[in-house]
Amino acid sequence: MKKQENYCTFAAMINLPEKFKTQMQNLLGKTAWNDFAEALQQPAPVSIRYNRYKNATPQDGDDVAWCNAGKYLAQRPVFTLDPLLHAGIYYVQEASSMFLEQVAALWREKTDLRILDLCASPGGKSTHLADLLPADSLLVSNETVNSRRGPLIENLTKWGNPNVVITHNAAEDFSTLTGFFDVMLVDAPCSGEGMFRKDPASIGEWSEEQIRRCVERQRHIVASAWDALADGGLLLYSTCTYNREENEDNVCWILEHLGAEMVTLPLCDEWNITANEYGYRFFPHKTKGEGFFISIMRKRNPTQVIKQEGKLPRFNVLNCSPEWVRGNFIFVYEDNAIQAFPPAFMQDIALLKQHLWVAQAGTPIGELKGEDIAPSAALAFSTALYCDSFPCEEVDLNTALRFLRRDAITLTQQPRDYILIRYQNVPLGFVKNLGVRSNNLYPPNWRIRMHIC
């Protein structure tokens, strides 16, 4: 009894709501609740996931068992002051969420898939899906909330995969794309109980009424976009919360009301992931990560094949292509902006533009300025970039940080041209060298705002 009282005191240190304690005790049982409450008082693990398509030397640390590109760090560095983070070499992500890699085994042998991340910002799971795309496949990453769209665009742009379209739409807007997607991820907005350790301020926002509102919203999101999922397609439903209402109860609702069946995955016992008939749970007292739930379902009700009405939008195609990228691309321009599209997705992108508000598609290449083309900041981060087509300047850490703050960089040994700035041989962006000075072309809204001594 004394041991249990001590653990209850642990939980009180972060002022957990009494009703939340009762909820978790009912979910876990008293013994496991004690371990769970103590785990919440420990520092949250720090984990990152490397970009599979960019050269990087992994940092020292333990591997994330369920993700080949995941690493735990011994301590949390000041990530803002690491140029490699800004270059899209790695993404700071909770290890539990990296379990998405195990789900991707379900489509590993397939090609030509269309995958939708419906609630995508800030982009952790979208950047992971971009790494897990099969050959000739397309990722559509969507964010409904206007204020959250900017971080999603920045993170996906820096990740550099050209097979990505970013949209800004409500879930119901996808209903007209009947049967278009083979995989749909709904990382649903939730009550965030799994983030209490990482973000104690969120505890004050928790209530049973908030859970009820989240359940209604989550069901609305899934049901609104359901028609866009092909018959036999996979629905990946996830939250970062613990309660049954937002997790198992919602899965049961989807199975019963929308027409789906469960899909199971093999697990390694040493991962200590808690599996039940409706999905997979991550608890901080068992797995090294934050709270997370994911369920995999297969759509089993017939879906009518999409029918086109009218003509698809036409693209303005450049007659001559910039020799700045490697691979097979079609270069199109709109309002003087040039983008590179993989040819296999031209019809898909045209269709998406017809039905959705598309914020970015493919790789932004540059801007037409008379007879000249100014390279886009996004081009520097693309995995298709051909670095040798630009003069390059290798910079040290201090200069790299000054560049990322949008400070002026003087390059006396470089020609008057667009210069690619690199740190540890990794592209960071462009400057227009004018001789005595240069124009920093790093986007103002991406710049580092932290004071650097």
Q: CATH 3.40.50.150: does it fit domain 99-299?
A: yes
pLDDT in tens, 113-153: 999 999 999 999 999 999 999 989 999 999 999 999 999 99
Give the per-residue pLDDT at 5.
38
pLDDT band at 12 (very low <50, low <70, confident <90, very high): very low
Residue 432 sits at φ, ψ, to 5 deg, of -100, 105
- The domains of the chain are located at 2-39, 99-299, 309-386, 390-453
Read off the tokens for 367: 């801007």
- Predicted confidence band of residue 293 (pLDDT cuts 50, 70, 90): very high
Closest C-alpha among 141, 183, 138, 184 to residue 162: 138
- Whether this model's pTM surpasses 0.75: yes
Amino acid (1-letter code) at residue 323: E
Omega within 30 of 0 (cis) for the link into 122:
yes
Q: Is 253 helix (H, G, I), strand (E, B) or coil?
A: helix
- Give pLDDT, residue 370: 78
C-beta separation of 288 from 303 below 8 A: no
In one-letter notation, the amino acid at residue 335 is D
- Given the DSSP bridges, would you call strands 438-440 and 426-433 parallel, antiparallel or unpaired? antiparallel
Cα diameter, the chain: 80
User: Alpha-carbon distance 401 to 378, whole Å?
Assistant: 18
Residue 214 is among the residues annotated as catalytic for this protein: no
Which H or E element spans position 210? helix 208-225
Which of 3.20.20.70, 3.40.50.10440, 2.120.10.30, 3.10.450.720 is the CATH number of 390-453? 3.10.450.720
Selecting among 67, 214, 240, 268, the annotated active-site residue is: 240
Q: How buried is residue 27: exposed, middle or buried, by Cβ count under 10 Å (0-12/13-18/19+)?
A: middle
Average pLDDT over residues 331-355: 91
